[in-house]
Amino acid sequence: MALLPEIVRRVVRSRLGKSLINRAHLHKPLPSMSLYFSDPLADLIGGDAESGLPIQRLSRTVFACGKSAVVVRYAQKGDLEVLRNSGFERIYLLIDDDLHAVAEGDGLPPDYRRKLMSYRDGHFRRLMEMVTDVVAPSENILRNFARKRSVLLDPAQCHAAGALQHHERRHNFDIVFAATRSHLQDLGHIAPALAQVLKQRPEARLTTFLNGHAPRNLRDLPNAVHLPVMEWPRYRKFVAENRFHVAIAPALDTAFNRARSISKLHDHAAFGAAGLYSRQQPFDRIVTHETSGLLLDYDPQEWRDALLALADSRDKVLRLARGGQVLSQTLGDIRRVRRFWVDELGLK
C-alpha cells in the first residue's frame, strides 16, 4: 500500500502530459520551432516520459531534456509555473524577433505591434527572470541580453531544394513575395514600382500571402494573386509543390527588420527562385550580389529596373537561383543545428 501514492502520482503526471500535448495540437505550429529545434531533433522528441525519447514536449512551446528546458519564443502563464517549479538548471530561450525594437516607426501593423508589446511587457519579463541562455539568429537580438549567456544560431533549411526546370519555360515570369503581414509596409514601399512591372510585362505574375491586406495598387491587377495566410504545415506543402522564378524580400531600414533571420533565403531556395533582398542586415552579410542573389537599395525604381532586367535575362535568373540554393544548403545545413542542440543538451 505504501507504493500507491507514487503510482497515483505517475498516472496523474502521464495523463497531464498527454492532455497538454493534445491541447497543443489545437494551436497553430510555429515556423520557428521547425527551423531551429523540432525538425533537426525530430527523432529525439516525444510527447511525454513514456515515449522513451530524451526530449519531452511539455506544452506548445516548451520542451524538456533532463535538467534543461527550451522555450521557443513564447511562454504562457502555465508554462511559467512549470518552469518555476520544475527545478531546471538551464532554461534556454530561442527567440527570432527583436522585442526590444518594437515601437512606433518599426514598420509593423499596429495590431501585431500591440500583441508583441503586450507579451514583452507581461509574460516575457517573468520568463526572463528564469532564463539562463538566449539563442537567436541575430547579434542585434542578443545584444539585449547582456546578463545572459547568448548564442548565435541561424535557422535550418527545412524545405527540400526546389528543382529548377521551370526556368526553361520562358512564357511566364513568376514572382513571389513569401512573407506575412508583418512585412506589409516593406512591400508597400515598392508596391507602385512593382505594379509598373506587372503592367508593362503581362507575362509577369505576382503571388503574395496577404489576401485582402495587399497594397491597394496591387489588388486589382489581373496578374497578381493574393492568397490567404497559411498555417505552417499547409505553407510547407505549398512550397514543396510550387516554383517561382524570382522571390522578393524588400525591407525598410528599421531596427526590427535588421534583427530578422535569414529564413527567407531558405524559402526562396525551396521555390527555386532568384532572391532579391534589401541591402541591409541580415542579407548583406551573406548574399553575394550578382552571385547568390541581388542586393538592392531602398529606391523603388531600382527594384522595378532589376525585375524588368531579369525578365529579359532568364539565364541570369537561373544562375542566381542556383547560387541561392548553394548558399541556403550551406548556411541552413540541418545537421549543424542538430549538433548544436545535441551538444547543448548533453545528448552525446
Domain extent listing, the chain? 20-156+333-344, 165-331
Contacts of residue 140, defined as CB under 8 A and 6 or more positions apart, other chains included, come to 98, 101, 255, 258, 259, 281
**What's the confidence (pLDDT) of residue 317?**
98
CA angle 295, 174, 196 (to 5 degrees): 70
- Express each pLDDT in 309-327 by its tens digit: 999 999 999 999 999 999 9
Closest CA relative to residue 186, chosen from 259, 232, 254, 239: 254
End-to-end CA distance of the chain: 40
Closest CA relative to residue 156, chosen from 35, 39, 335: 35
- Express each pLDDT in 276-291 by its tens digit: 999 999 999 999 999 9
245 φ/ψ angles, rounded to the nearest 5 degrees: -85, -40
**This prediction's pTM:** 0.90
**What's the confidence (pLDDT) of residue 305?**
98
**Cα 256 to the chain's mean position, in Å?**
14
Cell 525530430 belongs to 42
Listing DSSP states for 117-178 in one string gives: HHHHHTHHHHHHTT--EEEES-HHHHTT-TTSEEEE-PPP--SPPPP-GGGG--S-EEEEE-
Is the bond into 282 cis (omega within 30 degrees of 0)?
yes
**What's the confidence (pLDDT) of residue 28?**
60
CATH number of 165-331: 3.40.50.2000
3 state DSSP class of 72:
strand
Asked if 156 contacts 334 with a C-beta cutoff of 8 angstroms, the reply is: yes
What is the rounded distance in angstroms from the CA atom of residue 334 to the CA atom of residue 171?
36
Look up residue 38 and give its DSSP letter.
Answer: I
**pLDDT per residue as tens, the chain (348 positions):** 333 333 323 333 443 444 444 444 434 678 999 999 999 999 999 977 677 899 999 999 999 999 999 999 999 999 999 999 999 999 999 999 999 999 988 999 999 999 999 999 999 999 999 999 999 999 999 999 999 999 999 999 999 988 999 999 888 999 999 999 999 999 999 999 999 999 999 999 999 999 999 999 999 999 999 999 999 999 999 999 999 999 999 999 999 999 999 999 999 999 999 999 999 999 999 999 999 999 999 999 999 999 999 999 999 999 999 999 999 999 999 999 999 999 999 997
Look up residue 289 and give its DSSP letter.
Answer: B
CA torsion, points 343, 345, 346, 348, in degrees to nearest 10?
A: -60
Q: Read off the amino acid at residue 169.
A: R
What is the rounded distance in angstroms from the CA atom of residue 25 to the CA atom of residue 14?
17
Look up residue 225 and give its DSSP letter.
Answer: E
**Cα 289 to the chain's mean position, in Å?**
23
Asked if 110 contacts 118 with a C-beta cutoff of 8 angstroms, the reply is: no
Contacts of residue 211, defined as CB under 8 A and 6 or more positions apart, other chains included, come to 226, 227, 228, 229
Contacts of residue 129, defined as CB under 8 A and 6 or more positions apart, other chains included, come to none
Asked if 243 contacts 318 with a C-beta cutoff of 8 angstroms, the reply is: no
